[in-house]
Chain A
Amino acid sequence: MSREDEKNSINMLEEGIYISPKFEKDLLPEFELSREFFEEIYSMPGGEKVKECIQCGTCSGSCPSSYLMDHSPRQIFAMIRAGMRKEVLESNTMWYCTSCYYCYVRCPAGIKITDVMYALKRFALKDKDMKVPDNRPVRFMECFSAMVKRYGRNCEAIFTILYYLSTNPFRMLKHAVMGIKLFIRGRMPLIPKKIKGADDVKKLMEYVEEMER
């Protein structure tokens, strides 16, 4: 280990990021990247709290989806601090989060866990080298924002059809009966309404996209 690296790792320890010696060797090449990763997480609103996780497991125990996740929420926090960027961003954990905020209200360290899950989704999507384990949630978001960009609102029927076409059209057949039942009861209007300010909404969205590029 060079002097420089040693100094770096001491700095990180001081910041509350624990790196076990066993991992340290493998991690060094990724050092800079990982560092950026912590910083990105720490710099999001409320993100600095991530350092204060006491690994109590309350989040994992409260989470309705943790049994399906590659790594439970508690594990994710340990991994974030251990700098396991790739493992975190390629896991399915955040994609199984339903935003139920159960962990959020119970975490004794006051970590905004649900917000961290959103942030992990964003990081995974932004980094083209990361393999997202499942494209369905991504298609979901893409179809959703396409609808809003165009009409200013989301027409649920069209959105659902678009989404199924872009993922698995056969699944749509399974839901045909339900769709018809909803339609009969006037709950499936098929014509999207465009709002007057649709262009304004599009402008807003493009402006933010531009700013973040």
Chain B
Amino acid sequence: MIKYAYYPGCSLESTNKAYDISFRAIMYHLGIAMKDIDDWNCCGATAYISLSENMAFTVSARNLAIAEKSGATDVIAPCAACYLTLRKAHEYMMEYPEIYAQVNSALNKIGLSYEGTIKVKSPLEVIIDDVGLDKVRIAVTNPLKGLKVACYYGCQLVRPRHVFDDPEEPVKFEELMKTIGADPVYFPFRVRCCGSSTILTYEQQALRMSKNVLLSAKREGADIIATACPLCQINLDAYQRRIEKEFKIKLNMPVVFFSQLVGLALNYKYKEMALDKSIVSPKKVLEPYLHSQEEVKEGK
């Protein structure tokens, strides 16, 4: 029986395929088996809960129910918004019997039910707490020595509950970056909000929030920002040119997923980690680590 059920989420299917590709690769490399949740549906993110709480929990619970039925005990949700939404659905069902009953009565209509045995986890949690940093350290063959990485947690990975790490002063992401040889830099905005989906509704506000994050990382001398949330990646990467124009600043700060950097350290190629999908190209700052790959190849 495979312990981990994988919930990619809508964004990893389209705008952030890079996260999906790189995360699957490193899990495979580290020898952790996971199985996609069969025919999963959108978790509803922050949209449903603003319409109806029950709707939000029910739609999320369909995924948990399918995972539970397949015999999995943990669900891995790479997108921070999915992670929070699924976990919240689970927690509220466990905490409030009315919600539990309501959600299950809806699920019964389509022949499902959710008992509540699933643990929802983020990829960082799985790699750091379940797999363990020692195992990662042994697997690293291309350490990213001297790469100054700003670890951007964002909001929904560490809040609202103290599950994976401290909600305001988390440390585990940095530990992982140290393990793969990189040099994490502390920057004040690392747990601040990038503006998330308000980029579509209140663009100015979201751009300003993203600018703060980017600028803060730049000021602390980071070469690259690593994130674990697809929404953050889009806001900081795809909108970066707009931000530069809007606020008349020069940033040129590549933003990639932590899994892409880990993959690189495990000696996967630049393209294999889909690093070419970033809008602000990380090629220049990652150049030194690509060279050593070439040497390895030639040396063979």
Q: Which residues of B contact A38 (CB under 8 A)?
A: none
Within 8 A of A (CB), among B27-68: 39-42, 44-55, 58-59, 62
Instruction: Label chain A's interface by main secondary structure.
Output: helix
In the complex, A10 has a CB within 8 A of chain B: no
In the complex, A58 has a CB within 8 A of chain B: no
Stretch at the interface among B7-15, B141-149, B259-267: B7-15
CB proximity of A73 to chain B, nearest CB, Å: 14
Residue contact B53 to A122, C-beta cutoff 8 Å: yes
Stretch at the interface among A19-27, A81-89, A101-109: A101-109
Residue contact A148 to B279, C-beta cutoff 8 Å: no
- In the bound complex, CA of A144 to CA of B43 (Å): 11
Residue contact B156 to A155, C-beta cutoff 8 Å: no
- Using known A-B contacts A98-B195, A104-B160, A140-B197, determine if residue A200 contacts B110 with beta carbons closer than 8 Å: yes
Within 8 A of B (CB), among A44-67: 44-45, 64-65
In the complex, B242 has a CB within 8 A of chain A: yes
CB proximity of A139 to chain B, nearest CB, Å: 8
- Using known A-B contacts A181-B279, A187-B17, determine if residue A148 contacts B59 with beta carbons closer than 8 Å: yes
In the complex, A12 has a CB within 8 A of chain B: no
- In the bound complex, CA of A211 to CA of B14 (Å): 33
- In the bound complex, CA of A207 to CA of B109 (Å): 9
Q: Which residues of B contact A153 (CB under 8 A)?
A: 10, 13, 41-42
Residue contact A203 to B110, C-beta cutoff 8 Å: yes
Q: Which residues of B contact A105 (CB under 8 A)?
A: 159-160, 167-168
Q: Which residue on A lies nearest to B279, using beta carbons?
A: A181
In the complex, B205 has a CB within 8 A of chain A: yes
Q: Which residues of A contact B197 (CB under 8 A)?
A: 98, 140
CB proximity of A106 to chain B, nearest CB, Å: 8
- In the bound complex, CA of A156 to CA of B51 (Å): 19
Stretch at the interface among A1-9, A28-36, A188-196: A188-196
- Using known A-B contacts A105-B167, A105-B168, A178-B242, determine if residue A98 contacts B193 with beta carbons closer than 8 Å: yes
Residue contact A208 to B205, C-beta cutoff 8 Å: no
Produce 1/0 per residue, A92-119, CB < 8 A to B: 0001101111101110000010100011
- In the bound complex, CA of A150 to CA of B239 (Å): 29
In the complex, B247 has a CB within 8 A of chain A: no
- In the bound complex, CA of A207 to CA of B111 (Å): 14
CB proximity of B139 to chain A, nearest CB, Å: 28
CB proximity of A71 to chain B, nearest CB, Å: 17
Residue contact A197 to B39, C-beta cutoff 8 Å: yes
Within 8 A of B (CB), among A127-173: 134, 136-137, 140-141, 144-145, 147-148, 152-157, 160, 163, 171
Q: Which residues of A contact B209 (CB under 8 A)?
A: 64, 98
CB proximity of A155 to chain B, nearest CB, Å: 7
- In the bound complex, CA of A187 to CA of B279 (Å): 10
- Using known A-B contacts A65-B205, A186-B277, determine if residue A208 contacts B52 with beta carbons closer than 8 Å: yes
In the complex, B22 has a CB within 8 A of chain A: no
In the complex, A125 has a CB within 8 A of chain B: yes
Q: Which residues of B contact A13 (CB under 8 A)?
A: none
- In the bound complex, CA of A64 to CA of B206 (Å): 10
CB proximity of B104 to chain A, nearest CB, Å: 12
Set B46, B54, B193: member contacting A64, Cβ < 8 A: B193
In the complex, A14 has a CB within 8 A of chain B: no
Residue contact A45 to B99, C-beta cutoff 8 Å: yes
- In the bound complex, CA of A94 to CA of B51 (Å): 13
Set B53, B109, B196: member contacting A203, Cβ < 8 A: B109
Residue contact B62 to A204, C-beta cutoff 8 Å: yes
Q: B residues near A, CB below 8 A?
A: 10-11, 13-17, 39-42, 44-55, 58-59, 62, 92, 95-96, 99, 102, 106-107, 109-110, 155-156, 159-160, 167-168, 192-193, 195-198, 200-203, 205-206, 209, 238-239, 241-242, 276-279
Q: List 18 A-B contacts (CB under 8 A).
A: A45-B92, A96-B205, A99-B196, A100-B155, A100-B192, A102-B159, A122-B53, A147-B42, A153-B13, A153-B41, A178-B239, A181-B279, A187-B16, A197-B41, A203-B110, A204-B58, A205-B59, A212-B52
